[in-house]
Amino acid sequence: MAEAHPVGFQWVVEAQQRGAKVIHVDPRFTRTSAVADKHVPIRVGSDIAFLGGIISYVLENGLDFRDYVVNYTNAATLVSDRFEDTDDLDGLFSGFDPDKRTYDPTSWQYDVEDGPGEQSTAQADDSEETQAQRESAAGLQHEAHGMQVEGKPRRDETLQHPRCVYQVLRRHFARYTPEMVEQTCGVSQADFLEVCRAWTENSGRERTTALVYSVGWTQHSVGVQYIRTGAILQLLLGNMGRPGGGVMALRGHASIQGSTDIPTLFNILPGYLPMPNPDQHPTLTDYVDSIRNPGSKGFWSKADAYTVSLLKAYWGDAATPDNDFCFDYLPRITGDHGTYRTVLDMIDGKVSGYFLLGQNPAVGSAHGRAQRLGMANLDWLVVRDLFEIESASFWKDSPEVATGEIVPEECRTEVFLFPAASYAEKEGTFTQTQRMLQWREKAVDPPGDCRSELWFFYHLGRMVRERLAGSTDERDRPVLDLAWDYPVHDEGALGTEGAQAWGEPSAEAVLKEINGFDVATGRPLSSFVEMKADGSTAGGCWIYTGVFADGVNQANRRKSRHDQSFVAPEWGWAWPLNRRILYNRASADPEGRPWSERKAFVWWDPDKGEAGEWTGHDVPDFEKTKAPSYRAPEGSEGVEAIEGVDPFIMQGDGKGALYAPQGLIDGPMPTHYEPVESPFRNPLYGQQANPTRKQYRRDDNQLNPAPPEEHSDVFPFVFTTSRLTEHHTAGGMSRYLEHLAELQPEMFVEVSPALAREQGLEHMGWCHVVTARSAVEGRVMVTERLRPLRIEGRTVHQVWMPYHWGGGGLVTGDSANDLFGISLDPNVLIQESKVGTCDVRPGRRPTGAALRELVTDYARRAGIVDGVHPRVVTASADAQARSLAAAETSDDDQEGQ
């Protein structure tokens, strides 16, 4: 955290000075470790084993925060008797279809009162649907939609019943003993137990523990399950929804949170509404019901209002009740259209035009070579950036030009490099990692022809609409009916003729549309509760409704921190409805009293308002007047079904999910799988890596062999990449700046003294790192901050590299992202680019075509053959058969990868 989020780290240092203990678990001793009280070196890719071990420590010793767990999590809920765990099925959960490599989650469901097994269809999707969900990263939607739970699941408040979630969890993690953790993660038992004690002793009524991770954690083939493990542990110890607790994700870009809330992503619409697909969402009603699943609790029940408001914001008056508010205008997705799928399609020549908007995939995305080869096979490419980044100049100075794979004279891609306005030359909002929107005032006009994205896309849209104006073609209706007339200001301010004179669209007008307004009066809405499904309201993103409450740009509030509470609610605006800690109802006990005075945050004040109200330091993440004693009437659903003791108001059962019966494609509970490229056999069971992971089995995307395949010794070392404080992600905003570039001027590779001796590497000499994809070189930095670990009786060396370099800027070097292949987490299709195996050799890498010969030679020795791809499912055949038996669906579905 001190490396990539130093200013956020001030709060950790301050807490430490007040006596907090800071533990840093990281493969490498970083600047965070330097100040932390304890550094725990861990083998890359074994986080679930480590955290699972702590969960087991908590459950075996009954150290969980019992009142919290019983009332606020689904610990007491009983699981269907047809559920079988990984220990019985050699690493698979029940319901696994080896052909489609997905689960049918029917056997995972809760044991519902109207008889086990007769779960209504709404509750369980069959394995084909989950395959479709993997293809469309549905996890991202489910995660936000929460589970759909219909009917009253059986509960055992004493948590003794063998099939209650608490016991299922305990049995699941029973094998994660301190010895297992030591063997799998390379963490000594002493260190491991010290972390367990620190975490448990610092949780409960009086104290909370915070879990902080950087987004690299999500870049694993089991990334979502990493975060699930952290969430389960924090729920067991009662740290969720409370001050000083929770799970904090530290994102790397200014507005990554914003770019998933208002997503330039293929699988979701603003507000996490799913992009419709032809099978599940033929009509608007089907679409809405698929989100809210009638019968379930939670705020998703108003999905119809959110969807109609969005469609009204998109197509304005053209959206009327009789045409389902132009629902048919939405294009349909039919599977995986993620960036990696698109890049591979580019290589195959299926994509014509490509926009790069402040992103540099040539060095920023995994498998740099594929990214660049893809771009070399486009018709046209538009790059909008501050500098001439590698993705703009790939055709003349990329590594592939050096190896001859891209010959400038033969590369047909037409490239437009548009200069972009910087953050100080345009106004608008970022959404920070804590869901806070902050409005930036414009300082100066952009220089020369630099323009903002707002300018570029508003005018591009205008020009496209002009070109399609006369069209009677049905396909052009969505473009022509689009509500696209935003007020424009500063006409002619930056130039007199042609496009230079075009004005800048008003960012505030766009933010008002995002906030939502009453169609008739134009009055801005102040809460998504006001959204209607009858087309009388419009709103670009329901979770952002309230950012323009009372017609005031709440994101532009800057009341000084000296004049408000430590929660600082009047600085910027956090979604939803300015709640700064989500699910903060959980910071009060079932009767609504704070768990302790020290940790009071939100509580029930019986004599406030008519019959009592929730109050406290933050906006309560709960209906203001719903008393803790409120119990839902029989058969109620949606918001009404949320009871006074259900803090997790987005979940189908209002409880924190220790066990997720659905919504996750690779299992209801996290379990340890080895990374896709690992030198070790999975110590727990036959299934080596995540069986449901997304693979692109192509010859230009070969992976290093891992046990049980042979030749994994050709790439004996484990490597990972991460950030330096001085640079920013792939370097596009730091390698071009003298004051940053001179601080870390050269690409380097960190190795332990032991590895240096073993491979003959000399400090400040050169070395090159080789994988099945490519080889990159860097200066050697021999340091004790990396130490070999003892795993399963063998010593494993870990290599670390920064990934900030590329061919452009004041300081150039090889890009570490060239080393990674593409294998994705099944839930959200994020690539595994934080762990891999490699070889490290002294000296600089070969140049020109010789580079490809080196890589090909390694592939040959590693037994990598074109057309042949290692098995994904390595569990025993018997286990596969038994797991499949639990699946409900018939077997005639077609082959799917």
Partner 1 sequence: MAESRSLLPWPVLRQLTSGDLLGRGKAVRSRRTDEVEPRTTTADRVARSVCPYCAVGCGQKIFVKDEKIVQIEGDPDSPVNRGRLCPKGSASKNLVTSSLRETTVKYRRPHGTEWEELDLTTAMEMVADRVVKSRRDAWQELDEKDRRVRRTMGIASLGGATLDNEENYLIKKLFTAMGAIQIENQARI
Partner 2 sequence: MSGSTDRPGSGAEVQHGGSPGRSRGSSRGGDRVMVPEADFTSYYGRPIVKAAPWERDIAYYLFTGGVAAGSSLLAGGADLTDRPGLRRAGRIGSLIALLLSVVALVHDLGKPSRFLNMLRVVKLTSPMSVGTWILTLHAPFAGLASAAELVGMLPTPWQRGPVRLLLRLGRPAGLVGAVTAPPVAAYTAVLLSDTATPAWHSAHEELPFVFCGSAAAASGGWAMATAPVAEAGPARAFAVGGAAVELLMAHRMESSMGLSAELMHTGKAGTLMRASKVLTAAGAAGALLGGRSRLLSVVSGTALMAGSLCTRLGVYEAGMASARDPKYTVVPQRERVERGEQVRYQG
Partner 3 sequence: MIGRNSLFGPLDPAPDAGYTDAPKRKGFFTDTSVCIGCKACEVACKEWNDVPENLFEMLGTSYDNSHSLNANQWRHVAFIEKPASKPAVDLGMPSVGAPVSEVHEDDKPDFQWLMSSDVCKHCTHAACLDVCPTGSLFRSEFGTVVVQDDICNGCGYCVAACPYGVIDRRRGPEGDPKVGIAQKCTLCYDRLTDGQRPACAAACPTESIQYGDVEELRERANARVELLHERGVMDARLYGNDPEDGVGGTGAMFLLLDEPEVYGLPPDPVVTTKDLPRMFTRAGMAGTALLVGAALSFVRRRP
Residues binding partner 2 (CB under 8 A): 388, 390, 393, 397, 745, 753, 756-757, 761-765, 782-783, 807-812
Helices (H), 7-102: 10-17, 31-35, 47-60, 66-72
Verify binding: residue 192, partner 1, rule CB under 8 A. no
Question: Interior CA angle at 705 toward 702 and 711, to 5°?
Answer: 130
413 in Cβ contact with 378 (< 8 Å) = yes
d(CA 752, CA 729) in angstroms, rounded, equals: 24
Helices (H), 437-574: 453-467, 477-480, 507-515
Backbone phi, then psi, for 300, in 5-degree steps? -70, -10
Q: Could you say which of partner 2, partner 3, partner 1, none residue 812 binds, taking C-beta under 5 to 8 angstroms by partner kind?
A: partner 2
Backbone phi, then psi, for 838, in 5-degree steps? -155, 175
Verify binding: residue 253, partner 1, rule CB under 8 A. yes
Contact range with partner 1 by CB under 8 A, out of 176-184, 423-431, 856-864, 880-888: 423-431
Q: CA quadruple 283, 287, 290, 292: dihedral positive or negative? A: negative
Binding site for partner 3 (CB under 8 A): 2, 6-7, 9-10, 13, 17, 29, 31-35, 39, 724-726, 738-746, 748, 763-764, 779, 781, 783-785, 810-811
Restricted to residues 302-321, the positions that interact with partner 1 (CB under 8 A) are 314
491 in Cβ contact with 503 (< 8 Å) = yes
Min dist CB 68 to partner 1, Å, is: 28
* Contact pick of 108, 430, 583, 858 for partner 1 (by CB under 8 A): 430
The contact mask relative to partner 1 for 677-716 (x = CB under 8 A, - = no) is ----------------------------------------
| Cα distances (angstroms) measured from residue 739 to each of 278, 370, 423, 733 | 52, 32, 19, 12
Distance between alpha carbon 840 and the CA centroid of its chain, in Å?
31
Verify binding: residue 202, partner 1, rule CB under 8 A. no
Min dist CB 809 to partner 2, Å, is: 6
Measured from the CB atom, the residue of 31 and 82 that comes closer to partner 3 is: 31
573 in Cβ contact with 557 (< 8 Å) = yes
Measured from the CB atom, the residue of 179 and 449 that comes closer to partner 1 is: 449
Measured from the CB atom, the residue of 19 and 448 that comes closer to partner 1 is: 448
Measured from the CB atom, the residue of 336 and 385 that comes closer to partner 2 is: 385
d(CA 518, CA 532) in angstroms, rounded, equals: 9
d(CA 241, CA 250) in angstroms, rounded, equals: 18
Verify binding: residue 816, partner 1, rule CB under 8 A. no
Min dist CB 27 to partner 3, Å, is: 14
* Contact pick of 330, 619, 665, 767 for partner 1 (by CB under 8 A): 330
**Tokens found for residue 240:** 């969720």
Q: Could you say which of partner 3, partner 2, partner 1, none residue 452 binds, taking C-beta under 5 to 8 angstroms by partner kind?
A: partner 1
* Contact pick of 206, 321, 380, 534 for partner 1 (by CB under 8 A): 380
Q: Could you say which of partner 1, partner 2, partner 3, none residue 496 binds, taking C-beta under 5 to 8 angstroms by partner kind?
A: none
Measured from the CB atom, the residue of 238 and 731 that comes closer to partner 2 is: 731
Min dist CB 756 to partner 3, Å, is: 13
Give the Cβ contact number of residue 315 at 10 Å: 23
407 in Cβ contact with 436 (< 8 Å) = no
Measured from the CB atom, the residue of 752 and 831 that comes closer to partner 3 is: 752
Residue at 538: amino acid letter: A
Q: Which residue has the tokens 């799970």?
A: 247
Q: Which helix (H) or strand (E) element contains residue 258?
A: helix 258-261
Burial class (CB in 10 A: 0-12, 13-18, 19+), 847: exposed
Min dist CB 281 to partner 3, Å, is: 47
**Tokens found for residue 445:** 């006009």
Measured from the CB atom, the residue of 322 and 784 that comes closer to partner 3 is: 784
Min dist CB 66 to partner 1, Å, is: 35
* Contact pick of 117, 162, 408, 487 for partner 1 (by CB under 8 A): 408
The DSSP output letter for 428 is: E
Restricted to residues 153-182, the positions that interact with partner 1 (CB under 8 A) are none
Verify binding: residue 507, partner 1, rule CB under 8 A. yes
